[in-house]
Amino acid sequence: MNLIIDVGNSYVKLAVYSRNTLKEKVVVKHNEIVEGIFELKSKYSTLKHGIISSVGHLNSEDFSNVEGLINLLVLNSKTKLPFKNTYKTPHTLGVDRIALVSASVKQFPNENVLIIDAGTCITYDFINKENEYLGGAISPGLRTRYKSLNNLTANLPLLETELPKNIIGQSTEESIHSGVVTGILKELDGVIDEYKTKYLDLTVILTGGDANFLSKQLKSSIFANSNFLLEGLNYILQFNSNE
């Protein structure tokens, strides 16, 4: 069994996989990571190998304690990957993007795949049917756009995400919802269409915290999976341990 540790900005996701099957997933605070792993190890006696991403969000003491609990693979730019990375600056490629591309290789081998991760940032990552990762794009996510309008202006309020009823906003709040949400939807559809002009047999995957909200509004057919990043991390661990 494998332990998958995804350290985010606010929380840590811990997942237990038996080969390719997700057995359990829990979300804990950063200062609860050691306790959370200990409880999972007590429950799953064969849990011996693990992988961790985004270790920069953990303090050195917690990271050392995690290393003491399990045989740990730390995901970074030097980790052996199940695809050819042609990114010009591989050391700057985020481990979350590496994990998502790895998941696409596992689930859609020998296909042209565009992975869109809609979270704090919206990341676009493309891997071709020759198993070559070519790169992608990064833009501000939904909440980032709402917050920037509030933080960088004197009078615009911070709003909760809401689907605009009309593209023509008849109040400041309606105008913000129209600008942010419609803008992102048009961006997503536009990017997908651009890729499809070059790769007719394109598979598009939408994942991330805002995936459910956005997927219902997009015109393009997409496959959304909330555990996609965890599956990618599990596949990287399998790839490195030959299990």
Within the chain, strands assigned E span 2-7, 12-18, 21-28, 49-53, 71-74, 84-85, 112-118, 121-127, 132-140, 202-207, 223-224
119 carries a ligand binding annotation: no
Q: In this structure, what DSSP letter does residue 156 have?
A: P
Is residue 239 one of the residues assigned to a domain?
no
59 in a structural domain: yes
Shared-domain flag, residues 175 and 140: yes
In a domain, 189, yes or no: yes
**Residue holding tokens 């270790």?**
55
Which of 14, 46, 74 is a domain's end point?
Answer: 74
Q: What are the backbone angles phi and psi of residue 30, rounded to the nearest 5°?
A: -55, -40
Domain ends where: 74, 98, 125?
Answer: 74
Which of 20, 55, 74 delimits the end of a domain?
74
Give the residue ranges of the chain where pLDDT is below 70. Answer: 55, 243
Q: Do 104 and 14 fall into the same domain?
A: no
Residue 243 lies in a domain: no
Distance CA 3, CA 241 (A): 13
Query: pTM of this prediction?
Result: 0.92
Answer for the pair 163, 217: CB distance below 8 angstroms, yes or no.
yes
Which class for 53: exposed (0-12), middle (13-18), buried (19 or more C-beta within 10 A)?
Answer: buried
Which pLDDT belongs to residue 146?
98
For the chain, what is the domain count? 2
Instruction: Determine which one of 96, 189, 193, 201 is catalytic.
Output: 96
| Residue 96 annotated among the catalytic residues of the structure | yes
172 annotated as a binding-site residue: yes
Task: Say if 240 falls within a structural domain.
Answer: no
Does 12 appear as a known binding residue? yes
How confident is the model at residue 42, as a pLDDT?
Answer: 94
Residues 119 and 60 in one domain: no
Would 96 be classed as within a structural domain?
yes
The radius of gyration of the chain from alpha carbons, rounded to an integer in Å, stands at 19
- Examine the domain organization and report whether 134 and 39 are in the same domain: no
Let me know whether 181 and 134 are in one domain.
yes
Residues 46, 166: Cα–Cα separation, whole Å: 54
Q: Any binding-site annotation on 66?
A: no
Q: Which 3 state secondary structure label does DSSP give 135? A: strand
Domain range spanning residue 208? 84-232
Residues 203 and 96 in one domain: yes
Looking at the structure, tell me whether residues 170 and 217 fall in a common domain. Answer: yes
Please indicate, yes or no, whether residues 221 and 103 belong to a single structural domain of this protein.
yes
Query: What's 156's domain CATH number?
Result: 3.30.420.40
d(CA 89, CA 181): 31
What's the confidence (pLDDT) of residue 150?
97
Is 86 marked as a binding-site residue?
Answer: no
Same domain for 58 and 104: no
Q: What is the pLDDT of residue 57?
A: 80
Domain assignment of residue 79, yes or no: no
Whether residue 25 is found in the same domain as residue 109: no
Predicted local confidence at residue 226, as pLDDT:
81
pLDDT of amino acid 225: 79
pLDDT per residue as tens digits for the range 88-130:
999 999 999 999 999 999 999 999 999 999 999 999 999 999 9
- The answer to the question of whether 9 is labelled as a binding residue is yes
